[in-house]
Amino acid sequence: MKLYFASGNDHKRKELSRLLGGYTLTLPSDEGIAFDVEENGKDFIENATIKAEALFRIVNAPVIADDSGLMVKALGGKPGIHTARYGEEEAGRRLSDKEKYMLLLRNLEGETDRRATFVTALCLILSEDRRYIIQESCEGEIALSPSGANGFGYDPVFFIKEAGCISADLPEGDKDIYSHRGKAARLMKMLLDKETENGEKGTEN
């Protein structure tokens, strides 16, 4: 099954493609489709749905969208849905991943409560009246300093409680076991496999 991925983030596309295994994810830009939607929802599920619906209206084909973010207890749940753009409004420009996680560390200087949660919401739209939404999380805390060379985004400063180490210190396959996106994608793959199986049965009939 070909799935359009409502994103311009190739890092996310590669990770989600690996997690879904067997399903081709196509970015709008791969086919020259201009796609830029305002993510003005109040939570991750709303933003994932906004992106999926916007792309579905363009391609009229199966679409999947992801909205993810980091919620830090000491910061009142921020950056939350603004994780991807953290600090950019104040800076007046786009920031690199390193600039964003270093800003986070500065904002937590002296803070003893460093609990944090990564959240992923996935929205799959197969047709106008058929859609699935899955949300999963990964509990941890923000490290005192960055570590590791794997992953992307805030991985170098996110200590995964269940794994007992920094996310960026884990190989891809191991990170998938614990990560918010890994958990959500495994559930979504089960749904996609079932849909594919039902579709093949329908063709045989």
Tens digit of each residue's pLDDT (9 = 90 or more) over 95-116: 999 999 999 999 999 999 999 9
Give the residue ranges of the chain where pLDDT is below 70: 199-205
Q: Look up tokens 């709303």; give the residue.
A: 46
Query: Angle 10-20/180-204 helices, nearest 10 degrees?
Result: 60
Note the pLDDT of residue 202. 53
What pLDDT is attached to residue 45? 97
Q: How many CA atoms lie within 13 A of 69 on its CB side?
A: 22
Whole-model pTM: value is: 0.89
Coil/strand/helix, residue 30: helix
Range of the domain at 117: 2-204
User: Looking at the 3D structure of the chain, how many domains does it have?
Assistant: 1
Whether 185 and 122 have beta carbons less than 8 Å apart is answered as yes
Look at residues 173, 158, 124 and name the one whose alpha carbon lies nearest to residue 25.
124
Q: What is the pLDDT of residue 14?
A: 87
In sequence order, which residues have a C-beta less than 8 Å from that of residue 101 and are 6 or more positions away?
146, 153, 154, 156, 157
Beta partners for residue 67, in sequence order: 121
Dihedral (C-alpha) 173, 178, 180, 181: value to the nearest 10 degrees? Answer: 20
DSSP 152-190: STTGGGEEETTTTEEGGGS-HHHHHHHSHHHHHHHHHHH
pLDDT for res 204 = 54
* pLDDT score for 18: 87
pLDDT value of position 201: 56
φ/ψ region of 147 (left if φ > 0, alpha if ψ in -120 to 50, else beta) reads beta
CATH number at residue 23: 3.90.950.10
- 3-to-86, 147, 197 alpha-carbon distances in Å: 29, 34, 16
pLDDT the model gives residue 181 = 92
Q: Is the peptide bond before 79 cis (omega within 30 degrees of 0)?
A: yes
| Active-site annotation, residues | 67
